[in-house]
């Protein structure tokens, strides 16, 4: 746990405008700054950064957050890592407080250090190995590409790493997967006589290695095992290096191997990434779809490659969103992306990517191949096979399209396909609720306390009517009540992470972007709104008492109610 006070200090120290500007050049726009959103693809800027409130908001995709949130989202890293990154940028040291597990954090840091020392060693060895250099040249790789991907070489020999790590028996080497221990307890290097490709996470830490055999030998590719740093189903090779190209093309090319990615980059195709010895997972797809609108899978042309493509399709379905597109390139059987681009060149490869088979076509074609559509049984089987896939799809539009085409292919009616697949028939989404023209009093209050969060301490909780904003107001009240002195929106925002009121508060904060801030005005408006609330409350109370008095006579009221009734009656003559 990082202490809350540190987060506040950090947010006060970091200027979000400088921070965002170092990633995405910002332009002044009125009181705020604007840019094209780094989190979705757009032509006109709807990404806005508020220098006074220290948050960003995108009116296009709803991305919203503080400096910490920006680093998390932009780099795809967790809260703690983002805090560390910002702290080191601004020369602050993250304190270690209760609940912090030094052995665990120490272990991660230790492992990162071990991996980076190993990588430096491998890099050095590549320079010294004519054999490895020759191999790279043969594959058409330049020194520039080798440097870009941090390529190295693990020489032949059983314990070369002992030269780098005098404590060859340290646990960290085993945990990091750099050495293997046999049953007799003897250790040896995992990677021997291999071209070494470091796998780097978005933070720039080396979390694993891929090793490509130089001559003949098995296995051709050897990866680090899963370690505390490296989880295959989450990581993509080449993502940090591809970032700019992903933005430029709005397309990610997913290949099966890092040598494909490197060969494509060498040929000028920079937007490729690779899964690491595992099928494409929904997590991979989600990660990529946060950066691009289109993913093109480009696997080997052989049987195994086609099988991998189908598994990628199955695993991607649940991660699909309606305006995102997935497509598949099927290379000639004897080719992989690496050999294909070396033989046919970039233009031809680009053409393959542009003309890739859309997911729906691939899905239907593959299913149709499995069934004999000339027979009734085959047509039924088609629907049977399609059912689990359709059920995975969260996107109503694509699902509807597929249902229509399945109906065509099978000869069933569309409704029959829907019934057989147990799909609820598609209903267009309800139109967004119309905005109330006059904001309610509680909505007004929410806006004001986000302008000046200290006011939230003064909210009269018992007076707040049961409106949509009430839970958010109560939350802000309790958060601010726990603090002394000034508190910024950004600091509050960080404490809202994961709470149910988060989205509503973000939305209300976004409305502040167009408004000038005048502290005295905010105070006055706050009092005024509370006054109206009290009036409304009194009026309701008075009406209740009045109704009771009319029904049962004044004698029907308790002594207390009678007193209150008379008080209200006399204090508000206009209300009788
Ligand atoms: Zn956006």
Residue 42 Cα to ligand 1 midpoint, Å, equals 8
Confidence of residue 360 (pLDDT cuts 50, 70, 90): very high
**pLDDT tens by residue, 234-249:** 889 998 888 878 888 9
Of the residues 43, 65, 89, which one is the last residue of a structural domain? 89
CA of 20 to the centre of ligand 1 (A): 14
Give the distance (Å) from ligand 1 centre to CA of residue 508: 17
pLDDT band at 432 (very low <50, low <70, confident <90, very high): very low
Same domain, 327 and 218: no
Res. 67 pLDDT band, cuts 50 70 90: very high
Q: What is the pLDDT of residue 260?
A: 96
The answer on 65 and 117 residing in a single domain is no
**Dist. CA 71 → ligand 1 center (Å):** 15
* Low-confidence winner among 165-169, 198-202, 298-302, 345-349 (lowest mean pLDDT): 198-202
Q: What angle do CA 517, 522, 527 make, to 5 degrees?
A: 175
User: What separation in Å is there between the alpha carbon of 64 and the centre of ligand 1?
Assistant: 9
Residue 433 pLDDT greater than 60, yes or no: no
For the chain, how big is the Rg over CA atoms in Å? 31
This prediction has a pTM of 0.63
Structure tokens at 477: 């009240």
Structure tokens at 278: 């595992």
CA of 493 to the centre of ligand 1 (A): 19
Same domain, yes or no: 50 and 73: yes
Calculate how far, in angstroms, residue 266's C-alpha sits from the geometric centre of ligand 1: 31
- pLDDT average, residue stretch 114-124: 93
Q: How far is the CA of 46 from the centre of ligand 1 (A)?
A: 7
CA-CA-CA-CA torsion sign (377, 379, 385, 391): negative
**Ligand 1 centre distance from Cα of residue 58 (Å):** 5
What's residue 252's pLDDT? 97
Given this model, what pLDDT does residue 572 score?
61
CA 55 to ligand 1 center in whole angstroms:
14
408 in the same domain as 342 = no
Q: Give yes or no: residues 255 and 358 share one domain.
A: yes
| Tally of structural domains, the chain | 5
Is residue 121 located within the same domain as residue 78?
Answer: no
In this prediction, residues 476-504 reach a mean pLDDT of 85
Read off the pLDDT band of 203 (50, 70, 90). low
Specify if 429 maps to a domain. no
Question: Cα of 75 to ligand 1 centre, how many Å?
Answer: 15
Tell me the pLDDT tens digit for each residue of 447-475: 999 989 999 999 988 888 888 899 999 99
Output the CA 165–ligand 1 centroid distance in Å. 46
The CA 472 to ligand 1 mean position distance, Å, reads 24
DSSP characters for 410-424?
A: H---HHHHHHHTTPP
pLDDT at 150 over 70: yes
Same domain, 492 and 400: no
Residue 103's pLDDT is what? 45
- State residue 403's pLDDT score: 92
What SS3 string covers 351-410?
HHHHCCEEHHHHHHHHHHHHCCCCCHHHHHHHHHHHHHHHHHCCCHHHHHHHHHHHHHHH
CA of 204 to the centre of ligand 1 (A): 24
The Å distance, Cα 61 to ligand 1 centre, comes to 4
Q: Which of 62, 65, 84 is nearest to 20 (CA)?
A: 65
Ligand 1 centroid to residue 45 C-alpha, Å: 9
Residue 436 in any domain: the answer is no
Q: Is residue 234 part of a domain?
A: no
CA of 48 to the centre of ligand 1 (A): 9
Of 123, 155, 154, 281, the closest CA to residue 224 belongs to 154
Cα of 36 vs centre of ligand 1, distance in Å, is 8
pLDDT attached to residue 1: 64
130 with 17, same domain?
no
How much is the pLDDT for 561? 85
pLDDT at 35: 95
Burial of 443 (0-12, 13-18, 19+ CB in 10 A): buried
Instruction: Give the Å distance between the CA of 15 and the centre of ligand 1.
Output: 20
Residues of the chain with pLDDT > 70: what percent?
93
Q: Are 525 and 512 in contact (CB under 8 A)?
A: no
Residue 435 has pLDDT above 50, yes or no: no
435: CA distance to ligand 1 center in Å? 22
Q: What's the gap in Å between 364 CA and the centre of ligand 1?
A: 33
The pLDDT of residue 422 is: 81
How far, in Å, is the centroid of ligand 1 from the Cα of 62? Answer: 6
Residue 249 is assigned to a structural domain of this protein: yes
How many of the other CB atoms lie within 10 Å of CB of 218? 7
What distance in angstroms lies between residue 13's CA and the mean position of ligand 1's atoms? 25
Same domain, 75 and 170: no
- Å from CA of 394 to ligand 1 middle: 21
Mean pLDDT computed over 487-511: 86
3-state secondary structure 90-118: CCCCCCCCCCCCHHHHHHHHHHHHHHHHH
Within-domain flag for 494: yes
What is the SS3 assignment for 237? strand
Domain boundary among 223, 256, 280: 223
> Omega into 191 within 30° of 0, i.e. cis?
no
* Separation of CA 496 and ligand 1 centre (Å): 21
Residue-wise burial string across 327-354, b where 16 or more C-beta atoms lie within 10 A, e elsewhere: bbbbbeeebbbbbbbbebeeeebeebbe
CA of 23 to the centre of ligand 1 (A): 15
Location of structure tokens 């250090």 = 113
Give residue 38 CA to ligand 1 midpoint distance, Å. 7
Average pLDDT over residues 343-370: 95
Ligand 1 midpoint to CA 293 (Å): 12
Q: Are residues 66 and 139 in the same domain?
A: no
Distance 261 CA to ligand 1 centre (A): 28
**Claim to verify: residue 402 and residue 449 sit in the same structural domain:** no
Nearest to 224 by CA among 114, 92, 302: 114
Q: How far is the CA of 59 from the centre of ligand 1 (A)?
A: 7
Mean pLDDT, range 91-103, rounded to an integer? 62
Is pLDDT larger for residue 85 or for residue 321?
Answer: 85
Asked if residue 122 and residue 173 are part of one domain, the reply reads yes
Does the pLDDT value for residue 100 go beyond 60?
no
* Burial readout 36-45 (b: 16 or more C-beta within 10 A, e: otherwise): bbbbbbbeeb
Range 198-206 average pLDDT: 80
Tell me the CA–centroid distance for residue 317 and ligand 1, in Å.
23
CA of 270 from ligand 1 middle (Å) equals: 23
Is 174 contained in some domain? yes
Separation of CA 56 and ligand 1 centre (Å) = 10
Cα(50) to ligand 1 centroid in Å equals 15
The stretch 319-339 carries a mean pLDDT of 91
- CB–CB of 160/200 below 8 Å? no
Q: Which residue has the higher pLDDT, 533 or 156?
A: 156
Distance of CA 82 from the midpoint of ligand 1 (Å): 20
Let me know if residue 434 belongs to a domain.
no
Please give the distance, rounded to the nearest whole angstrom, from the Cα atom of residue 494 to the centre of ligand 1. 20
* CA of 324 relative to ligand 1 center, distance in Å: 15
The CATH number assigned to the domain holding 156 equals 3.90.980.10
Query: In angstroms, rounded to a whole number, what is the distance separating the alpha carbons of residues 542 and 497?
Result: 41
Q: Ligand 1 center to residue 63 CA distance, Å?
A: 6
Can you state the angle between helices 303-316 and 282-289, rounded to 10 degrees?
70
Q: Of 76-90, 469-483, 558-572, which has the strongest mean pLDDT?
A: 469-483
The range of the structural domain enclosing residue 475 comes to 441-569
- Give the C-alpha separation, 123 to 129, whole Å: 10
Note whether residue 428 is domain-resident.
Answer: no
């Amino acid at each position: 746990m990082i202490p809350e006070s540190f987060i506040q200090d950090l947010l006060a120290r970091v200027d979000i405008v400088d921070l965002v500007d170092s990633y995405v050049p910002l332009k002044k726009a009125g009181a705020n700054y604007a840019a094209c959103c780094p989190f979705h693809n757009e032509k006109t800027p709807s990404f806005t950064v508020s220098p006074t409130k220290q948050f960003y908001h995108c009116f296009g995709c709803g991305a919203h957050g503080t400096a910490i949130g920006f680093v998390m989202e932009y780099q795809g890293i967790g809260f703690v890592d983002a805090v560390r990154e910002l702290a080191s940028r601004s020369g602050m040291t993250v304190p270690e407080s209760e609940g912090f597990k030094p052995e665990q954090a120490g272990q991660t840091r230790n492992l990162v250090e071990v991996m980076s020392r190993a990588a430096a060693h491998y890099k050095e060895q590549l320079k010294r190995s004519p054999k490895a250099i020759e191999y790279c040249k043969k594959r058409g790789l330049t020194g520039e590409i080798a440097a870009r991907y941090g390529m190295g070489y693990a020489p032949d020999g059983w314990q070369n790493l002992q030269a780098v790590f005098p404590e060859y028996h340290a646990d960290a080497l085993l945990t990091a997967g750099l050495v293997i221990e046999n049953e007799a307890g003897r250790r040896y290097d995992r990677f021997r006589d291999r071209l070494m490709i470091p796998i780097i996470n978005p933070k720039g830490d080396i979390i694993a290695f891929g090793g490509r055999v130089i001559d003949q030998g098995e296995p051709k590719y050897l990866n680090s095992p899963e370690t505390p740093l490296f989880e295959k189903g989450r990581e993509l090779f080449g993502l940090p290096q591809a970032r700019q190209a992903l933005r430029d093309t709005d397309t990610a090319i997913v290949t099966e191997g890092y040598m494909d990615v490197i060969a494509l980059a060498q040929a000028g195709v920079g937007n490729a990434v690779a899964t690491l010895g595992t099928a494409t997972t929904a997590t991979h797809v989600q990660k990529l779809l946060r950066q691009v609108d289109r993913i093109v899978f480009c696997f080997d042309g052989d049987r195994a490659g086609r099988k991998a493509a189908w598994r990628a399709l199955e695993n991607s379905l649940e991660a699909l969103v309606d305006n995102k597109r997935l497509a598949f390139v099927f290379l000639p059987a004897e080719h992989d992306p690496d050999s294909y681009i070396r033989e046919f060149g970039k233009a031809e490869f680009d053409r393959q990517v542009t003309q890739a088979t859309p997911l729906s076509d691939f899905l239907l074609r593959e299913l149709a191949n499995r069934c004999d559509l000339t027979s009734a049984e085959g047509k039924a089987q088609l629907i049977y096979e399609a059912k689990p896939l359709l059920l995975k799809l969260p996107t109503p539009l694509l699902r509807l399209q597929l249902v229509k085409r399945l109906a065509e292919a099978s000869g069933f009616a569309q409704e029959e396909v829907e019934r057989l697949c147990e799909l609820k028939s598609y209903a267009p989404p309800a139109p967004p609720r119309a905005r109330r023209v006059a904001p309610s009093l509680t909505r007004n209050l929410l806006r004001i306390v986000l302008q000046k969060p200290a006011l939230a301490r003064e909210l009269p909780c018992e007076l707040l009517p049961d409106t949509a904003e009430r839970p958010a107001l109560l939350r802000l009240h309790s958060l601010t009540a726990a603090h002394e002195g000034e508190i910024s929106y950004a600091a509050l925002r960080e404490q809202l992470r994961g709470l149910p009121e988060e989205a509503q508060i973000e939305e209300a904060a976004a409305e502040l972007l167009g408004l000038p801030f005048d502290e005295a005005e905010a105070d006055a408006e706050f009092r005024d709104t509370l006054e109206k609330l009290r009036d409304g409350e009194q009026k309701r109370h008075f009406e209740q008492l009045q109704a009771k008095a009319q029904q049962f006579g004044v004698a029907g009221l308790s002594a207390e109610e009678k007193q209150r009734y008379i008080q209200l009656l006399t204090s508000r003559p206009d209300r009788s």
